[in-house]
Amino acid sequence: MKTTTPPLLFEPYLKRLGLRKRLKPNLANLGRLQKAHVLQIPFENLDIHARIPIELDIQRIYQKVILNKRGGFCYELNGLFYELLAHLGYEVRRVSARVYSVEKGYSPEFDHMALIVRIEGQEYLSDVGFGEFCFGPLALHWPSQQLDPRGLFHVDEHPDDYICISKDDDKAQKFPEYKFKPIAREFGEFDHMCRYQQTDPNSHFMAKPLISMATAKGRITLAGQELKIRKGEKILVRKIADSAAFSKAAWKYFRVKVPPLAST
């Protein structure tokens, strides 16, 4: 017997974001949605350390993030956000991004998922799954500098038809975040890298359990045996003694119930 996938319910999603009504698909509301998302739903990798497979199944992701009030990493958060934006009437597509690090340069294709939203003929980058990133969408015209509450961002053309997103560091020097080609991707195309992030010893997501979420003036991060609270220029660091203390901090600061972890 053929079964059909039940439609997602978006009222609980908007409620999770602290929004009570359907928003018209315009630039101002895209910014409102993006900011609410990064302030309300944490970036986290707890299922990886609980040995719970993360699959690119939007129904399972919805259950986890919206109904169970958890967080997720880029494929989950931007995967869900894509569905919400499409439901609200935005013209949106997924793109594959390659993250930059000093040690390794740019990562492989599909290492990160981001979104491009087209509004009134202009394209914008929107991303709710990249940790410390911008509160609002970035207009994709280059070269450009765009000031966001989270810093000064740069959009530049890169060789081989890539677009590069950079951000000023603490010394006001431009540092690459990631690059991408503005090509629409299917959700399933990210499956290989999604499995890599969960299982390969070289994946940085395997290093330690992590929960991190932006606040209006800073960020709270719980990683392994350390809790870091940043507010403006002030940073408070506390040691986390054991798994019980980790779970207690996760609930206190993120309202996340931690699954049984294989490591802390």
| CATH code, domain carrying 189 | 3.30.2140.20
pLDDT category at 22 given cuts 50, 70, 90 is confident
The answer to whether the Cα torsion of 246, 36, 87, 16 is positive or negative is: positive
Q: Are residues 174 and 219 in the same domain?
A: no
Q: Are residues 186 and 231 in the same domain?
A: no
Q: Is the pLDDT of residue 143 over 80?
A: yes
Range of lowest pLDDT (93-97, 138-142, 158-162, 171-175): 171-175
Closest CA to 91 of 124, 58, 61, 113: 124
Domain that holds residue 153: 10-199
Q: Is the pLDDT of residue 236 over 80?
A: yes
Cα–Cα distances in Å, from 136 out to 14, 122, 148, 194? 17, 15, 7, 25
Q: Are residues 223 and 150 in the same domain?
A: no
Q: Is the pLDDT of residue 175 over 60?
A: yes
Q: Are 129 and 75 in contact (CB under 8 A)?
A: yes
Query: Average pLDDT for residues 125-154, to the nearest whole number?
Result: 96
Whole-prediction pTM value? 0.95
The separation between the first and the last C-alpha atoms of the chain, rounded to the nearest angstrom, is 44
How far apart CA 263 and CA 47 sit, in angstroms, is: 11
Q: Is the pLDDT of residue 248 over 70?
A: yes
- Residue 120, number of CB atoms within 10 A of its CB: 6
Task: Please report whether residue 240 resides in a domain.
Answer: yes
Q: What is the pLDDT of residue 170?
A: 78
Counted domains in the chain? 2
Q: What is the pLDDT of residue 55?
A: 97
Q: Is the pLDDT of residue 43 over 90?
A: yes
Q: What is the pLDDT of residue 156?
A: 98
Q: What is the pLDDT of residue 264?
A: 46
